[in-house]
A and B are shown apart, each in its own frame.
Chain A
Amino acid sequence: MTRYVLVRLGNGLFVLWAALTVSFMVLHLVPGDAVTVMLRGRGGEGSSVDPAAADALRAQLGLDRPLYAQYLDFVWGAVRLDFGTSFATGDEVSAVLGRSLPPTLELAAAALLLTLVAGVAAAVTASLLPSAPLRSAVWSVTVAGGAVPSFWTGIILLQVFSFRLGWFPAFGEGDLSRLVLPAFALALPGIGTLTQVLGRSLRTALADPYVRTARAKGASRLRATTVHALRNAAIPAMTLFGMMVGGIVAGAVITETVFSRPGLGTLTAKAIDTHDFPVIRALVFLVGALYVLINLAVDLVYPKVDPRIVLRSA
């Protein structure tokens, strides 16, 4: 067990290092000269760039130094969570990230909770439904949920629940009521996917003999499904859930734009608008790190859910 955790941690560190290297390369993959692109902004090819400003920015980003020195600096900086200064605002990137993180974490946590509750509820309900047409109706709704663009869902939710019905405030952040609509818009695609995956493994699990045994001993259908089958069907859904976290944080780019919420998403959108590569680099690394950590955590929880799974370093 400890050995497994260590091996997984080592593997995670490797992936983190690789993600860091990828984010290092961002600045160097820009065709032509990254500094010129940044200074031009959205002006495009035509606008001219002051050579002195370009040199100053180059020195500030360390681009005038040899590549290996830049790389070592970048890695050493990332270890200390120092990603340099933002090109657009001149603030420390880590300070900007620190400010933007809490509202997005709040939104992502709400969306994930919603995904979990709604996904499990929908999958269980679908498997309990007595008629096949009803089941396939639930199925179609979940498929549709994944097909609707999340930026449009957000707008429909605003139109219906904020403007027409006036149930929720439309924009900004703050109290819980402002969290409901964005969290739902962000969660919707994931709810559909989770319902499909969990529904499929629930169906397999419900056909197992132990469910029949439980029913024979007097357990209701609901109890047989939730208490007996659900835990056995949970593993694929857990894997999926772990993989969804990164997508939900990235999806905040759209949701926060639609609902005008401050956070990592609006920060990403702004950074890309202004070609703020130091911020983009740090974001890539941050989201990658989040993915690695969450999936490590999910791996470690597997045996708690299904004791037959023995963690072993392969």
Chain B
Amino acid sequence: MSVTTAPPGGAPQDHRQHQDDRDHRERDREQGRSRAGRRLRRLAGRPGLLLAVLYLALVLGWTVAPGLFAGQDPLHTDPAQSLVAPGSEHWFGTDNLGRDVYARVVHGARVSLVAGLLAVGLALLAGSVLGALAGYLTGWLDHLLMRVVEVLVVIPGLLLSLTVVSILGFGTTHVAIAVGIAGIPGFARVARAEVLRIRGSAYVQAAVAGGNRTPAILVRHILPNASPPVLVLAALDIGGAVLSISALSFLGYGAAPPAPELGAMVSEGRDYMTTAWWLTTFPGLTIALVVLATSRVARALERTGVSS
């Protein structure tokens, strides 16, 4: 489910990065500039990241208000206008039923992105609760939970999602849940490792000695300190989740046919591979760019640290 995108180089470069950040911070303090302004200027210096942020903003716009970006109805068929090549009338052309491909991509991206966020949200929530419980309570519960995670890892994410979909039935929500379930082990592992690291620290011991109850310690002391790496994983996972969801939609387990969905659009366009390239190219490209952009932004978050 994950797309590995950590930067090359490792420690030395990170160190330099931190040094840079510190220099920036000092200069900014001297000049008395706001944090937001500093961030914007730093963004402008990295064109790749800027493009990624802009593209994601566009897709978010599609998600929030698809009608604003695509004037045409994604379901409106017009046999007289079938398989028209991309042009000023239809930016991404039309499909075999004369539906506007651009409108379908806009609405389809919305479905894929919402489903992806749902999947990651589910994996994040369930995985961190399981991982945090295992890491904090240790003992037999930890043992049991980690064994379960180990077994889930053995079954490849795609096959696990496929199995869950076959159990739950087809449809976009079920696909999102299936992809989310496949993502749980990763979050459980990271959350457990973080909690294990933190629970030995002095401030947690002080909280225990101070007579706080376990839930209070978990929520007030451990959660805030364990969340940044888990949230970075969540950001990194969004791209992978969108990929898995479109793969399942491509295989035909997502929304029922007339509804636009990016993976399903690529699948439908397969019959016109030789005559109408735009049917597969635009939805495919949209998915690839969403995945690339989210992973680019997630990597930037990872490097600067979510909390800073």
The number of chain B residues touching the other chain, given as a range, is: 35 or more
Contact A283 B277 (CB under 8 A): no
Q: Cβ of A22: which chain B residues have Cβ within 8 Å of it? A: 151, 155
Question: What chain A residues lie within 8 Å of B269 (beta carbons)?
Answer: 155
Contact of A148 among B8, B151, B250, B288 (CB under 8 A): B288
Report Cα–Cα, A295/B35, bound state, in Å.
Answer: 48
Chain A residues with CB under 8 Å of B3's CB are 143, 146-147, 189, 193
Query: How far does the alpha carbon of A269 sit from the alpha carbon of B247 in the complex, in Å?
Result: 12
Contact among A144, A192, A280, A287 for B156, CB-based, below 8 A? A287
Q: Given A15-B154, A30-B167, A155-B284, answer yes or no on A268-B273 (Cβ-Cβ < 8 Å).
A: no
**In whole angstroms, what is the CA distance A124 to B78 when docked?**
53
Number of A-B residue pairs at CB separation under 8 A: 156
Q: Find out whether the CB atom of A37 lies under 8 angstroms from the CB atom of B291.
A: no
Task: Return the chain B residue nearest A271 by Cβ.
Answer: B166
A-B contact pairs, 5 of them (CB 8 A): A19-B154, A156-B284, A196-B6, A254-B247, A268-B159
- Tell me if B305 is interfacial: C-beta within 8 Å of chain A: no
Q: Is A71 an interface residue, CB under 8 A from the partner? A: no
Q: For B5, what are the chain A residues with a Cβ–Cβ distance below 8 Å?
A: 143, 146, 196
Judged by a CB distance under 8 angstroms, whether B50 is at the interface is no
**Known interface pairs A268-B159, A268-B162. Does A273 touch B252 (Cβ–Cβ under 8 Å)?**
yes
Contact of A143 among B166, B284, B295 (CB under 8 A): B295
A19→B267 CA distance, assembly (Å): 32
Within B257-273, which residues are at the interface with A (CB < 8 Å)? 263, 266-267, 269-270, 273
**1/0 contact trace for A127-144 toward B, CB 8 Å?**
000000001000100011
Stretch at the interface among A97-105, A199-207, A227-235, A306-314: A199-207
A296 to B50, CA, bound (A): 44
Please report which residues of chain A, range 256-299, place their CB below 8 angstroms from some CB of chain B when the two chains form the complex. Answer: 257-258, 268-269, 271-273, 275, 277, 280, 283-284, 287-288, 291-292
Evaluate contact between B165 and A272: CB separation under 8 angstroms. Answer: yes
Secondary structure dominating the interface of A: helix
Q: A residues near B, CB below 8 A?
A: 15, 18-19, 22, 26, 29-31, 37, 42, 135, 139, 143-144, 146-152, 155-156, 158-159, 163, 189, 192-193, 196-197, 199-200, 203-204, 246-247, 249-251, 253-254, 257-258, 268-269, 271-273, 275, 277, 280, 283-284, 287-288, 291-292
> In the assembled complex, how far is the CB of residue A75 from the closest CB belonging to chain B, in whole angstroms?
15
Contact of A247 among B156, B170, B263, B295 (CB under 8 A): B156
Chain B residues, CB < 8 A from A152: 266, 280, 284, 287-288
B284 touches A149 (CB 8 A): yes
- CB contacts (< 8 Å) of A254 on chain B: these are 158, 247, 250-251
